[in-house]
């Protein structure tokens, strides 16, 4: 059994396939496994909560893991150790989530492109057809992650409390979520995964895209992301497209195209869930 994993901070999707790429069981979903924000104990606990994974752990031959928080050495090593301990008979590979986005969005294995992730978090890299290049090291959701789910969640809450929302939007936002100050502070400062909590508010934007306020909110976040991340690759953008992966990007395609026209870069492909494009890549490279 081969396990291919696409993990964010909110959730992890596990595909179990055979050596020919045939699905062995339905997609398994666990909580997110971001080793940059979770302890080793929490990583173990999250994986072991899945009966499907534990019941089949001894027949797993390969684990290909792509995840948020795996772009730096120490968190990546910690997670790799956890996976090797649980799936003790498997070859384990752990890579940053950007590489999964690359393999699932490019049109052919040697295509050069700038590839962006816009999901719970956000990131941007240049793939030269062989290697991945990053010009900005992520400092996480507190300081970075423009145009991500947690970025938009934070903006929505701030606008609600600072009275920057139109009244009809504010009423709808207040009706959908518990916005009591103590409840928000409890989830932000006393619960794990505050970035995922913030990202849970982002859905609201896509349910209310008939509002000029919402459209401007989305576009302003994308402009900030493009300025700080995509434009790090000004020279490369002259010749390569910009591909996007993640649910925020997928549901913001029109706004991304508008910002791309403003800022002068070419939009390529959109993929909501990178994991679906990873199976053929790995089966052909076993």
- The CA distance from 265 to 249, in Å, is 16
Query: Helices 253-263 and 212-228, interaxial angle, to 10°?
Result: 50
The pLDDT assigned to 83 comes to 98
Instruction: With a cut of 80, say whether residue 276 has pLDDT above it.
Output: no
Question: What are 135-179's pLDDT values in tens digits?
Answer: 998 888 899 999 999 999 999 999 999 999 999 999 999 999 999
- What does the pLDDT read at residue 68? 85
Residue 208 lies in a domain: no
- Give the model confidence (pLDDT) of 206-255 as tens digits: 999 999 999 999 999 999 999 999 999 999 999 999 999 999 999 999 99
Distance of alpha carbon 278 from alpha carbon 243, whole angstroms? 16
| Residue 72: CATH number of its domain | 3.30.420.40
Q: Is the pLDDT of residue 11 over 90?
A: no
In a domain, 67, yes or no: yes
Q: Is residue 55 part of a domain?
A: yes
- Looking at residue 8, its pLDDT comes to 81
The answer as to whether 51 is a domain residue is yes
Q: Please check whether residue 207 lies inside any domain of the structure.
A: no
pLDDT tens digits for range 53-111: 999 999 999 999 999 889 889 999 999 999 999 999 999 999 988 889 998 899 888 99
Q: What is the pLDDT of residue 32?
A: 92
Q: Which domain holds residue 66?
A: 2-100+275-283
* Residue 51 neighbours by CB under 8 Å, 6+ apart: none
Please report whether residue 279 resides in a domain. yes
Higher pLDDT, 281 or 201: 201
Please state at what angle helix 40-48 crosses helix 73-86, rounded to 10 degrees. 40
Asked whether the beta carbons of 253 and 272 are under 8 A apart, the reply is: no
In a domain, 112, yes or no: no
Residue 44 within a domain: yes
Number of domains in the chain: 1
């Amino acid at each position: 059994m081969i396990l291919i994993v696409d993990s964010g901070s909110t959730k992890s999707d596990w595909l179990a396939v055979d050596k020919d790429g045939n699905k062995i069981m339905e997609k398994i979903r666990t909580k997110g496994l971001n080793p940059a924000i979770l302890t080793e104990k929490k990583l173990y606990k999250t994986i072991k909560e899945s009966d499907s994974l534990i019941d089949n752990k001894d027949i797993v031959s390969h684990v290909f893991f792509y995840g948020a928080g795996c772009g730096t050495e120490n968190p990546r090593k910690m997670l790799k150790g956890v996976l090797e301990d649980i799936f003790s008979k498997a070859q384990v590979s752990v890579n940053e989530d950007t590489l999964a986005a690359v393999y699932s969005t490019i049109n052919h294995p040697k295509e050069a492109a700038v590839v962006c992730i816009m999901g719970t978090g956000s990131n941007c890299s240049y793939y030269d057809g062989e290697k991945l290049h990053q010009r900005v090291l992520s400092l996480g959701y507190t300081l970075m992650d423009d145009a991500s789910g947690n970025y938009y969640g934070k903006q929505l809450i701030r606008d609600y409390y600072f009275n920057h929302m139109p009244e009809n939007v504010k009423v709808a936002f207040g009706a959908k979520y518990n916005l009591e100050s103590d409840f928000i502070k409890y989830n932000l400062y006393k619960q794990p995964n505050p970035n995922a909590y913030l990202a849970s508010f982002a859905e609201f934007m896509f349910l209310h895209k008939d509002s000029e306020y919402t459209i401007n909110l989305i576009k302003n976040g994308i402009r900030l992301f493009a300025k700080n991340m995509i434009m790090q690759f000004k020279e490369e953008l002259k010749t390569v497209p910009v591909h996007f992966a993640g649910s925020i990007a997928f549901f913001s395609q029109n706004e991304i195209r508008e910002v791309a026209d403003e800022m002068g870069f070419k939009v390529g492909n959109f993929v909501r869930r990178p994991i679906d494009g990873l199976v053929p890549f790995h089966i052909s490279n076993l």
